[in-house]
């Protein structure tokens, strides 16, 4: 494996590993005692979630054609919509919770309204990541990939994407889901043919 491919592989996998690590600390319920951490955690995550979308772009470097560009576009939509989820349900909700001093988020009506819209845009983001992953796998398959790596990568990506629609990064399912993204994208990178042809 060349140094360039090794660096690309690291760049593809690193966001998933870092996000999964932070997922271990993500509270399941927002209460007064963890409101400050909830807010800080999502401020930390705001620049990290977009890197999952960037991973798709790194994976598809050198690829052209409808499938590859469709994957890239879907990756951008993931960044927009999932970033909105993080900003609303993370930063905005955390800010309101800290300011309210309430015992839990159940006691703040405005937080429930924020969750409602955040869940809708977050679902859109997760759907776009699913589309991006499947189109990327198809682009790599069309270029003549190593099927022994591509098939398990695509299957793992499909399962992880399906779980991501509802899991966010909460432990255990969310953490394992994000780690599965990293493994699946790494396998796709390794499945690519040596000489990239337009997809």
Token digits of residue 151: 């098939």
User: Is the CB of residue 27 less than 8 Å from the CB of residue 39?
Assistant: no
pLDDT of residue 37: 97
For the chain, how many residues are written? 199
pTM here is 0.91
pLDDT of residue 195: 58
Low-confidence stretches of the chain (pLDDT beneath 70): 194-199
CB-count exposure of residue 129 (10 Å: 0-12, 13-18, 19+): buried
Residue 166, φ and ψ in degrees, nearest 5: -130, -5
Write out pLDDT tens, residues 101-129: 999 999 898 999 999 999 999 999 999 99
Q: How many CA atoms lie within 13 A of 180 on its CB side?
A: 23
pLDDT of residue 20: 96
Q: How many other C-beta atoms can be found within 10 angstroms of the C-beta atom of residue 106?
A: 12
pLDDT of residue 21: 96
């Amino acid at each position: 494996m060349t140094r360039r491919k090794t660096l690309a592989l690291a760049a593809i996998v690193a966001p998933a590993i870092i996000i999964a690590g932070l997922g271990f600390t993500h509270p399941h319920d927002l209460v007064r005692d963890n409101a400050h951490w909830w807010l800080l955690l999502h401020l930390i995550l705001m620049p990290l979630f977009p890197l999952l979308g960037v991973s798709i772009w790194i994976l598809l470097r050198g690829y052209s054609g409808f499938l590859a560009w469709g994957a890239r576009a879907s990756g951008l939509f993931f960044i927009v919509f999932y970033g909105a989820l993080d900003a609303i349900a993370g930063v905005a909700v955390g800010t309101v919770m800290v300011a309210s001093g309430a015992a839990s988020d159940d006691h703040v009506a405005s937080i429930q309204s924020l969750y409602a819209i955040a869940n809708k845009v977050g679902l859109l983001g997760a759907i776009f990541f699913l589309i991006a992953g499947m189109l990327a796998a198809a682009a790599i398959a069309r270029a003549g990939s190593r099927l022994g790596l591509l098939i398990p990568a695509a299957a793992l990506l499909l399962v992880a994407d399906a779980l991501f629609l509802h899991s966010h990064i909460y432990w255990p399912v969310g953490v394992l889901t994000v780690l599965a993204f990293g493994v699946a994208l790494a396998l796709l990178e390794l499945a690519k043919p040596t000489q990239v042809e337009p997809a």
